[in-house]
Structures are given as structure tokens and as C-alpha cells.
Amino acid sequence: MPHHTAAEARKTPIEDALNAQATKRNQGIPLNPAWIRRFRTREPRNSHRARALESLEVPRGNKGVEPLLKVLGAIDLTTLSSDDTARRVLRLCKTARSPLPASVKRGLGLHGPDPRVAAVCVFPAFVPFALEALDGTGILVATVSAGFPHGLSSLSQRIREVRAATEAGAHEVDVVIRREWALLGRWQELYREVRAFREARGSIPTN
């Protein structure tokens, strides 16, 4: 069995993706509308699969611990309320560093480093607070941009928001598309918009 250090064992899926992208960034490809025209959904099949998932039982005892911890390690703890404050963000970051109460950890028989979430997602104004609170933990800071939540401000303004979020040090920037393009099937406009956001984002920062 390969040996992993404690730091390697605590890596999240997002960190793995960031490390991979830091080595070689996907340059993207031109839009091919044929891909979208070939896409079809089958409502009866999807409904059947959804019912099957609802009937699944969560594993109990020790068998259920490992998959649940994997889920925990892929979660973004998020606060995007209109009444957010720096204090609320700092509380969320504290929870992110140790999301499981001591009693729960004892009950699950967990030892060693605390389980943790993948990232904390906050409004752009709170990115600096989150970065400072999570410094050295490996937990990433995500933010929303590009006219969140409606995506209907001007494209130039939304591009500036993406640049600003990047300059603030956010590890992940979640953009909002102009949904009209998808509703009307104007895929080329949507592609150009997302491409512009990607270029504004530039290279992904690392810790």
C-alpha cells in the first residue's frame, strides 16, 4: 500500500483539480452546436432513476463513515445572504476548519486530523476575511461573480467583477450566465460570454 503523508491525506477534490490545472491548463475548444442538438433528456427514465436514489439506504456503522467523510470533503460551506457580515463569515470559516462536533467524532471513532470541507463560498466583499481565517488550512475560498444572482448587468461590468474577484485572491470564481441565451438556444452568445469570463479569470491562483 502506498504511503501518504498527513497533508496528502487531507487534500480535497478541489485542491487536486487546482494542482492539476496549475501544471497544465485546459485551453478550451471552439463551440460545436451539434453537441447541443444531440443532447436529449428522457423524463420517464430520469424520474425512475430519481425514485431509485430516494430509496437507497445510507450505510450504517463503520461502513457508512468513509463515504460520508468523502462527501463532507467535497462540500462548499456557503453564506450568500443579503445580511451577511464579517462576523458571520468568520463563524462559517471556523465551522469549515472543524465541521464535526467532538461528540460526533467520538461516536464515529475518528482519530487524527479533523475532517474538513473543500471550500467556503462568500460574497466578494468577504473574500479577504475568509482568506485570512483559513490561511494555512488548505481550505479554499470561493466567491460568486458576473452579476450574481441574475446575471443581467452589462457584460463589461460582469467581466470586471470576475477580474476583481481574481485579484482579491479567490481560489474559485462561480459565474452567473445570462440565462436568456440558454432559454432561446443562442449558444454562440453563451459560449462567447463564458469564454470572456474565463479569459478575465486568467491563471488560477494557488495557496
Report residue 7's pLDDT band, with 50, 70 and 90 as the boundaries. Answer: very low
State the average pLDDT for the chain.
83
Find out whether 80 and 144 touch, Cβ atoms under 8 Å.
Answer: yes
Please check the confidence at residue 49 and state whether its pLDDT lies above 80. Answer: yes
Please check the confidence at residue 121 and state whether its pLDDT lies above 90. Answer: yes
Mark residue 124 as left, alpha or beta (left: phi above 0; alpha: psi -120 to 50; beta: remaining). Answer: alpha
Please check the confidence at residue 39 and state whether its pLDDT lies above 60. Answer: yes
Q: Average pLDDT of 105-120?
A: 80
Q: Cβ–Cβ contacts within 10 Å for residue 199, how many?
A: 12
Query: Position of cell 478575465?
Result: 200
Residues, the chain, total? Answer: 207
Which domains does the chain carry? 60-201 (3.20.20.70)
Q: What is the pLDDT of residue 70?
A: 84
Could you report the per-residue pLDDT of 168-204, keeping only the tens digit for each? 999 999 999 999 999 999 999 999 999 999 999 986 5
Query: Position of cell 430520469?
Result: 46
Distances (CA, A) of 69 to 59, 64, 109, 134: 12, 9, 13, 20
Cβ burial of 119 (10 Å; 0-12, 13-18, 19+) is buried
Could you report the per-residue pLDDT of 126-164, keeping only the tens digit for each? 999 999 999 999 999 999 999 999 999 999 999 999 999
